[in-house]
Structure 1
Amino acid sequence: MKKVIAGMMIAAALGTGAAFADDEPFEMQIDARQGIMDYRALQMGVLGGMVKGEVEYDAAAAQKAADALLAASTLDASMLWPAGSDSDAVMETAALPAIWAEGSDIGAKGKAMAEAAAALQAAAGGGLDALKAAFGPVGAACGDCHKTYRKSDG
């Protein structure tokens, strides 16, 4: 987790443009955005385990995971999605070109995720029932974006 956070901080500090110029254009942006998605998935896994009853509900752990998910969902990661960084010729990525297409609603989907994560963050420490109620909309927001802008796993 420390490596993901460090990677996100380094990417944010470097900015865009020449700082990313090397033999593999976009590699750093793709690595950083995949790291953010992995970090979100980690938090969803902690919370999902509680929601599914696989692990005992722990208010402090739920709150910590929800806080982290909200933080990761509200980062300005726009510099990590430059046009052309969907190409598997650069490196393996699940991003679809539709993200960059004119009329893309990726911004609205990102906002919906942040709003759902904020509601989850407000509810997470308030008991298992509150966590369960707020968890579904976050999963739906993730799925809505993935259905539109991510290559299928199959």
Structure 2
Amino acid sequence: MFSKARISVAAAALVAMTGVGFAASHAQSEFAREIAARQSQMKIYEFNLLVLGAMAKGDAPYDVEAATLAANNLVAANSIWMPSAWPKGSDNASADGTRALPAIWDNFPDVGAKAQGVKQALAEMQTAAGTDIDAIRDALGKVGAACTACHKSYRAAE
């Protein structure tokens, strides 16, 4: 038969484990919405860059309308200002499901400068998209370099 002391210890252990489990799941999901929002923006970039990249590699024919649409989409996605999607504590050391490094929140001036580089490169892509395939290739190189500058410093490897 179980003594009151054993039942009390077992009950306390269950409460403690439940609390720890709740805290862990809460910490993991606390910023899930914000992380999903910023990753969705990155997916929009990826989708449109793949359209332009296929043309640049010769895997798809140069199509001025499709290239212009993709470039316009990139600029539009970049114009979405979402500081609320980047709360402190939503980095890969604090939350699951993100590759954002904690250094982002320590270096906002540098992140902002790199973001301006992306904005400029995308504006050049928008102009290049309606020109010709060589202009797209050149502009893609600049977009890639601008994106890489931020990702190299502020995104964990896969």
The alignment's TM-score, normalised by the length of structure 2, stands at: 0.78
SS at match of 1:126: coil
1:9-88 to structure 2, matched below 5 A, reads: 24-87=29-92
Unpaired stretches in structure 2, ≥5 consecutive residues: 1-25
Note the C-alpha offset of 1:85: 0.5
- State the secondary structure of the residue aligned to 1:96: coil
Instruction: State the partner residue of 2:124.
Output: 119
The match for 1:9 is none
What is the RMSD of the two structures over their aligned residues, measured on CA atoms?
1.9
Contact persistence 2:125–2:139 (CA under 8 A): yes
Instruction: Look up the SS of the partner of 1:55 in the other structure.
Output: coil
* Cα distance change on mapping 1:23 and 1:136 into 2, 3 Å: closer
Residue 68 (structure 1) shift: 0.3
User: How far 1:152 sits from its partner (Å)?
Assistant: 0.9
- Any residues of structure 2 matched to 1:78-117 within 5 Å, and which? 78-87=83-92, 90-102=95-107, 104-117=109-122
Q: Mark the runs of 5 or more structure 1 residues left unpaired by the alignment.
A: 1-20
Paired position in structure 2 for 1:145 = 150
CA 1:92–1:103: 2 relative to 1, 3 Å: closer
Check the 8 A contact 1:98/1:104 in 2, yes or no. Answer: no
Secondary structure of the corresponding residue to residue 130 of structure 2: helix
Q: CA deviation at 1:102?
A: 4.5
Deviation at 1:24, TM superposition (A): 2.5
82-91 vs 59-68, which deviates more?
82-91
* Identical-pair percentage: 43
Cα 1:49–1:102 shift into 2, 3 Å: closer
The total of aligned residue pairs comes to 133
CA contact (8 A) 2:92 2:99 kept: no
Question: How far off is 1:91 after superposition?
Answer: 2.7
C-alpha separation in 2, matches of 1:33 and 1:89: 16
Task: Give the TM-score of the pair, scaled to structure 1.
Answer: 0.80
Structure 2 partner of 1:17: none
The answer as to whether partners of 2:35 and 2:85 remain within 8 angstroms in 1 is: yes
| Secondary structure class of the residue paired with 1:152 | coil
